[in-house]
Amino acid sequence: MRVTKLRRFAVLMAAGTLVLAGCSSSSDEEGSGAYAGPVKDTPGTINVLAWPGYAEDGSTDPNVDWVTPFEKATGCTVNVKTYGTSDEAVQLMQGGGYDVISASGDASLRLIYGGDLQPVNLDLIPNYKDVFDNLKDRPWNTVDGKNYGVPHGRGANVLQYTIGKVNPAPTSWSVVWEPNSPAKGKITAYDSAIYIADAAVYLMSTKPELGITDPYALDQTQFDAAMALLAQQKPLVAEYWADYTKYIGAVQSGSITVGTSWQVIANVLNGEKETVGAVKPVEGATGWSDTWMISSKTEAIDCAYKWLNHIIEPSVNAQAAEYFGEAPANSKACALTASKDHCKLYHAEETDYWSNVYYWKTPTEKCLDGRTDVKCVPYAEWVKAWSSFRNS
Amino acid sequence: MSVIQQTRRYMHRNIGARISALLALPLFWLVVIYIGSLAALFITSIWKIDTFTSKVVREFTLQNFIDVFSDRAYFNVTIRTLFVAICVTLICAIIAIPMAFFMARIAKPKSRPVLIALVITPLWASYLVKIYAWRTMFYPEKGFINWLIEPLGGSSPGFGMVAVIIGLTYLWLPYMVLPIYAGMEKLPDSVIDASADLGAKSGRTFFDVILPITWPSIIAGSIFTFSLSMGDYITVQILGGTFQMLGNVVYQNFSLNLPFASAVALIPVLIMMVYLTSVRKTGALDNL
């Protein structure tokens, strides 16, 4: 009797496990080429995965809205979900259920090789022709000659400081890395493994003997030096941030006065009164170049293409770039920004400015800077090191 | 109609069918949702990932466990998590025992429902609202706690382990008070009277009579506070500053390395299993 019960229980358990395993298995098919078009007027719903500030539907600020006009014009319904780090974006996208995504360079390749995205037929996106040439066909949006999306905008991860609390106003990252920092204990850093690259950027100018040329191509010695710099910084840090609203609260309360930030955070903080400054320090900075991409599993392909075209429409691209605080990707957007010198302020048209902005990329074992005599530390190891570092 | 009647007749005749129909839902819950997810957790922890795309590859490996146990950082974080869970449990017990005693034995029976309602009220508010409220209180310079302590020459502890322990204690206190209250209410008056008749003072009665009898209910409360603290990561994120617990390790890794996160997530499961087995003899599990 007892044996039968046990056996029945075991069978049930095994069945349960099988059901679960069945639910979690997903097909890994590659996208089967780009959409041939033409883009039809099929109504539908698209779930948009975006950086905060990229797809505003009026819920943050009723005056900031370029989603509702799109919905009215096309009959497509848009649901927006925002994320805080590229890693989170990759996780959400792999989980499925999203049709389009604004991916940074450190997320896009992982998604393309994972089969989560489909090539994009740029002929179906009329606004693509106006995109800055130095953003077209770049390694983070184009693989094997296939384009995977439309560029949205780019920017640098700036050094933000509270005016009056950090004197003199910093122009170097040393204020967040050196033990004698005047802002000791009130420093913040980005809570993601990709932040290791920020340490590498600082080492590029302070320890040239390490020979770092690309902060995403670090061999073991260079990587260890970056981790040592992070360990030196840890006692100075008040909080690591990934949630930008929490960051804003901490700056307003005075518990954080300096650290890496996005221009959009500074813009929100300066909403009523100018309280913080944001600069690209002399050492250069990490940054992002973002691309709108389409899921390989989308069922609303027409709406997705319309969204991609809409989001880089000069007037919309201008609005989004200005709200987020970055350089727009569409060259015609510069004439349409509310503040006339927006593009000048964000150096949208200057090629020089971007020479020491290191766009987020996914580090791989094969060094991204072209070295072949050494192996570089791949991103999985960055993640491991970061997790261990944060918990040590 | 006839289908219903037929079913009814069949059920009436067949006791086995009746029992299985009754138990189907709870069994599904227990086996598939609860034990099944634990099994899935374990199975995931012995899989690999594709290091570039972070996708799970279903190949057997023990590397995740080697990573967890060979890295000193994860040993330290386990100890820190245990320490926080023990502190929260002890502080909750120290606050809850006198509270429950007052509610169950001293307060007028009429006012008891009101007192219970008051203990439960914090549970009506959202977890996040409460923790963000604590966050504003803990701000190092502008927070309420700093305002309170500053005149006395101290300063707010700021974000970190102390803030986490206080936050968690606040959150889980009702889960400690209620079982102890139930235990103390069941206590017959006669034992306390007998203790007094035999000459024991109130302190002795409390420590030698009341405490041993209500011990199982204290342990029952501690199971809640201990397990809830072991698994928490949101409070730690909001109040912890740079401080991290096991839950945060899982949170940090689940998106990029699910198998590793699963391996880490098994640590609190194991600790809870040890804890539950060790308290089983006190009869606490009958008090839940």
Residues A252 and A302 both lie in one domain: no
Give A347-359 pLDDT, tens digit per residue: 888 888 888 999 9
Instruction: Give the global pTM.
Output: 0.81
Tell me if A294 sits within 8 A of A100, measured CB to CB: yes
Tell me if A130 sits within 8 A of A330, measured CB to CB: yes
In a domain, A277, yes or no: no
Does the distance separating the beta carbons of B72 and A110 come in below 8 Å?
no
Residues A169 and A134 both lie in one domain: no
Does the distance separating the beta carbons of B76 and A391 come in below 8 Å?
yes
Residue from A387, A389, A390, A392 whose CB has the most chain B CBs within 10 Å, to mutate: A387
Sorted by sequence, the CB contacts under 8 Å of residue B274 that are 6+ apart come out as none
**What six digits make up the tokens of B36?**
């099944």
pLDDT at A12: 46
**Structural domain span for residue A221:** 158-261+362-391
Tell me if A285 sits within 8 A of A27, measured CB to CB: no
Biggest CA-to-CA distance, chain A: 84
**Which residues of chain B are within 8 Å of residue A107 when distances are taken between CB atoms?**
none
pLDDT at B32: 86
Residues A320 and A370 both lie in one domain: no
Does the distance separating the beta carbons of B253 and A364 come in below 8 Å?
no
In a domain, A172, yes or no: yes
pLDDT at B176: 96
The phi and psi torsions of A32 (rounded to 5 degrees) equal: -95, 70
Q: Does B40 touch chain A (CB under 8 A)?
A: yes
In a domain, A111, yes or no: yes
pLDDT at A28: 36
> First vs last Cα of chain A: how many Å apart?
52
Q: Does B235 touch chain A (CB under 8 A)?
A: no
**Which residues of chain B are within 8 Å of residue A87 when distances are taken between CB atoms?**
255-256
Residues A116 and A233 both lie in one domain: no
* A28-56 b/e (C-beta count within 10 Å ≥ 16 → b): eeebeebbeeebeeeebebbbbbbbbbbb
In a domain, A301, yes or no: yes
Average pLDDT for runs of 10 along chain A of length 392: 46 45 39 75 92 89 91 94 89 91 91 92 93 88 91 93 91 95 93 95 96 94 97 95 90 93 88 89 94 94 94 93 90 89 84 88 87 91 92 87
Per the listing, tokens 């590859």 go with: B57
Does the distance separating the beta carbons of B53 and A113 come in below 8 Å?
yes
Does the distance separating the beta carbons of A364 and B36 come in below 8 Å?
no
A-B Cβ pairs (cutoff 8 Å, strict): 120
Tell me if A87 sits within 8 A of A193, measured CB to CB: yes
Per the listing, tokens 């008056």 go with: B189
CATH topology of domain B72-287: MetI-like fold (1.10.3720)
E strand or H helix at B48: strand B48-49
Q: Does A67 touch chain B (CB under 8 A)?
A: no
Residues A367 and A256 both lie in one domain: yes
Cα torsion at B74, B78, B83, B86 (round to 10°)? 170
Residues A72 and A165 both lie in one domain: no
* Listed residue (A369, A320, A42) closest to A210, CA to CA: A369
Give dist(CA A192, CA A107) in Å, integer. Answer: 13
Strand, coil or helix: B49: strand
Look at chain A and report how many structural domains it folds into.
2
The nearest CA of chain B is from the CA of A67 a distance in Å of 28
Tell me if B67 sits within 8 A of B262, measured CB to CB: no
Quick one: how many helices (H) and strands (E) in chain B? 15, 2
Residues A175 and A252 both lie in one domain: yes
Q: Does B27 touch chain A (CB under 8 A)?
A: yes
Tell me if A287 sits within 8 A of A106, measured CB to CB: no
The phi and psi torsions of A158 (rounded to 5 degrees) equal: -85, 165
Give dist(CA B86, CA B66) in Å, integer. Answer: 27
Would you kindly state where each structural domain of chain B is located, as residue ranges? 72-287
pLDDT digits (tens), chain B, 288 positions: 578 888 888 888 888 888 888 888 888 888 888 888 889 999 999 998 887 777 888 889 888 899 889 989 999 999 999 999 999 999 999 999 999 999 998 899 999 999 999 999 988 899 999 999 999 999 888 888 888 888 888 777 889 999 999 999 999 999 999 999 999 998 888 988 899 899 888 889 888 889 888 999 999 999 999 999 999 999 999 999 899 999 999 998 887 888 999 999 999 999 999 999 988 877 767 666
**Which residues of chain B are within 8 Å of residue A387 when distances are taken between CB atoms?**
73, 249, 252-253
Cα torsion at B101, B102, B106, B109 (round to 10°)? -100
Residues A111 and A246 both lie in one domain: no
Residues A245 and A384 both lie in one domain: yes
Q: Does A7 touch chain B (CB under 8 A)?
A: no
Partners of A151 in the β-ladder: A291
CA A1 to chain centre: 60
Tell me if A144 sits within 8 A of A31, measured CB to CB: no
* Listed residue (A231, A235, A232, A236) closest to A186, CA to CA: A236
* Listed residue (A178, A176, A220, A179) closest to A198, CA to CA: A176
Q: Does B74 touch chain A (CB under 8 A)?
A: yes
Give dist(CA A362, CA B196) in Å, integer. Answer: 74
In a domain, A15, yes or no: no
Partners of A190 in the β-ladder: A241
Residues A257 and A384 both lie in one domain: yes
Give dist(CA A22, CA A19) in Å, integer. Answer: 5
Q: SS in 3 state form for chain A?
A: CHHHHHHHHHHHHHHHHHHHHHHHCCCCCCCCCCCCCCCCCCCEEEEEEECCCCCCECCCCCCCECCHHHHHHHCEEEEEEECCCHHHHHHHHHHCCCCEEEECHHHHHHHHHCCCEECCCHHHCHHHHHECHHHCCCCCCEECCEECCEEEEEEECEEEEECCCCCCCCCCCHHHHCCCCCCCCCEEEECCHHHHHHHHHHHHHHCHHHCCCCCCCCEHHHHHHHHHHHHHHHHHEEEEECCHHHHHHHHHHCCCCEEEECHHHHHHHCCCCCCEEEECCCCCEEEEEEEEEEECCCCCHHHHHHHHHHHCCHHHHHHHHHHHCCEECEHHHHHHCCCCCHHHHCCCCCCHHHHHEEECCCCCCCCCCCCCCCCECCHHHHHHHHHHHHHC
CATH number at residue A131: 3.40.190.10
Residue from A27, A255, A365, A376 whose CB has the most chain B CBs within 10 Å, to mutate: A255
Classify strands A357-359 and A285-295 as parallel, antiparallel or unpaired: parallel
Residues A367 and A340 both lie in one domain: no
CA B89 to chain centre: 9
Contacts 24+ apart (CB under 8 A), B201-206: B206/B101
Beta strands in B124-221 (DSSP E): none
E strand or H helix at B40: helix B36-45
The phi and psi torsions of A292 (rounded to 5 degrees) equal: -85, 125
In a domain, A5, yes or no: no
In a domain, A34, yes or no: no
Residues A323 and A228 both lie in one domain: no
CA A194-A382-A173 angle, to 5 degrees, is 40
pLDDT at B287: 62
The phi and psi torsions of B274 (rounded to 5 degrees) equal: -60, -45
**Which residues of chain B are within 8 Å of residue A389 when distances are taken between CB atoms?**
73
Tell me if A79 sits within 8 A of A45, measured CB to CB: yes
Sorted by sequence, the CB contacts under 8 Å of residue B136 that are 6+ apart come out as A249, A253, B143, B144
